[in-house]
């Protein structure tokens, strides 16, 4: 009973904190969960060495059928997102934004249904390599915990899943 009451009260406050962290405008008081276990390594890990790269199987991007249609996912089936404040080869996500939206680190390869001509990567300011598709830097959403989850779609009207052409879905 007490747990339900706390959840009811904390739920809206937690949503506001998370939305602040997801807008690309870091909130100094935001507290968010970590990336999914099958997702990338922590943004706080060192930039050098293999620890800063996703596993090769994870980097084999593919298309998956979800409630939003056929969208881009990593090799483990976790949904990937683009941030409309980014530009080709440049990430506008930093600080708390990277806690809520961890980048897909490494150089991607083509899996099922993916247009390999749209695959790419760039070097972030911290020295890590971030995967891109159609020029868009790719991210996970900390709220997605299982393959097929798409709870990051349209967060603050700046985060979107990608279709086969690398365009935002539902923008």
Q: Which of 168, 6, 19, 12 is nearest to 80 (CA)?
A: 168
164's CB contacts (< 8 A; 6+ apart) are 63, 70, 72, 113, 114, 115
End-to-end Cα separation, the chain, in angstroms? 40
Alpha carbons 58 and 28: distance in angstroms, whole number: 31
Instruction: Say if strands 129-133 and 136-137 run parallel, antiparallel, or are unpaired.
Output: antiparallel
Q: Are 130 and 54 in contact (CB under 8 A)?
A: no
The two three-digit tokens of residue 40, written as one number? 């990338």
Confidence of residue 4 (pLDDT cuts 50, 70, 90): very low
Question: Is this prediction's pTM over 0.75?
Answer: no
Query: Domain map of the chain by residue range?
Result: 2-161
Over residues 113-166, the pLDDT tens digits come to 999 999 999 999 999 999 999 999 999 999 999 999 999 999 999 999 999 999
Over residues 93-111, the pLDDT tens digits come to 999 999 999 999 999 999 9
- Torsion angle, CA of 102/95/32/76, rounded to 10 degrees? 0
60 has pLDDT over 80: yes
Q: If you average pLDDT over residues 77-96, what whole number do you get?
A: 96
Residue given tokens 């365009």 in the structure block: 167
């Amino acid at each position: 009973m007490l747990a339900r009451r706390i959840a009811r009260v904390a739920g809206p406050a937690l949503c506001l904190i998370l939305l602040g962290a997801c807008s690309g405008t870091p909130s100094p008081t935001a507290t968010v969960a970590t990336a999914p276990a099958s997702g990338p390594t922590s943004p706080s890990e060192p930039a050098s060495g293999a620890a800063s790269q996703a596993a090769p199987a994870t980097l084999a991007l593919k298309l998956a059928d979800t409630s939003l249609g056929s969208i881009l996912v990593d090799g483990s089936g976790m949904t990937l997102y683009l941030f409309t404040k980014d530009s080709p080869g440049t990430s506008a996500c930093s600080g708390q934004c990277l806690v809520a939206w961890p980048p897909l680190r490494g150089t991607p390869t083509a899996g099922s249904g993916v247009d390999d001509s749209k695959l790419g990567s760039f070097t972030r300011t911290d020295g890590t390599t971030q995967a891109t598709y159609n020029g868009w830097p790719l991210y996970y959403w900390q709220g997605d915990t299982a393959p097929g989850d798409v709870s990051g779609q349209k967060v603050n009207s700046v985060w979107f899943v990608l279709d086969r052409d690398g365009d935002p879905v539902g923008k």
